Amino acid sequence: MARRISVAQRRSDFINAAVEVIAAYGIDGATTRRIAEQAQANLAMLHYCYDSKEDLFADVYEFVAGKYRDVVKDSDPHSDLRDTARQLLRGVMECYLESASFTAATMELISWARRQHGDRGIAVYDQALETVRAVLRSAPSDHPVEPETIDQIAYVIATLADGFAMNWFTYGDRSAATEQMDIAVSVLDSWLAVRLGSTPVAP
């Protein structure tokens, strides 16, 4: 007798399938039929779980945001500010390196949301940046750190992570990407050494 699959599990299957389809075909090519086929389910089941493709994409956005929250959760709350920044940058890059499809889908989703919904696309990016800022603000420091400095650190982390994602997405060279992760962290270390007066740590 076939095992009954819960609606929650089916939703998870469709979300993961949507990420793969968006990565392969872009938003416009991510039809419900392709997503259902990728999830090895029939189209009727997808429409049973989701009233519309927009509802499914809303869950895909939440899935992407959840991946970033997981990176934050995995950072050591007892690390100092510099180490916390390093952990956040490396964690985001490892998240990208873990799945080329996730990287491609994330870039496509944010770009599409910016084009189609304006503020929503900005909100997705803002949410990720604010999550990073919140962790940086909570990190122990030897001296008070100005909010402006926290904003700058978050910006540098985002810029380095975005550059890494684009390179990984473009070339797909895992060996080179692994080396580039170390380079990105060393760049962050050098910038922090100047901005915070700390000594950079070799990766």
Q: 194 or 120: whose pLDDT is higher?
A: 194
pLDDT band at 202 (very low <50, low <70, confident <90, very high): very low
Mean predicted confidence (pLDDT) in 117-144: 81
How much is the pLDDT for 203? 47
How much is the pLDDT for 169? 92
Residue 185 contacts by C-beta under 8 Å, 6 or more apart in sequence? 86, 89, 90, 203
Cα–Cα nearest to 194, from 162, 140, 149:
149
Query: What is the model's pTM?
Result: 0.84
Q: Is the pLDDT of residue 113 over 80?
A: no
Q: Is the pLDDT of residue 199 over 70?
A: no
Range from 18-32, 54-68, 157-171 carrying the lowest mean pLDDT: 54-68
Can you read off the two tokens belonging to residue 76? 């050591």
How much is the pLDDT for 158? 93
Residues 2-59 have pLDDT tens digits of 457 788 899 999 999 999 999 999 988 999 999 999 999 999 999 999 998 889 988 9
Q: Are 69 and 86 in contact (CB under 8 A)?
A: no
Q: Rounded to a whole number, what is the largest CA-CA distance in the chain?
A: 66
pLDDT band at 121 (very low <50, low <70, confident <90, very high): low
Task: Show the domains of the chain with their CATH numbers.
Answer: 1-50 (1.10.10.60), 56-196 (1.10.357.10)
Give the separation between CA 168 and CA 98, rounded to whole angstroms. Answer: 11
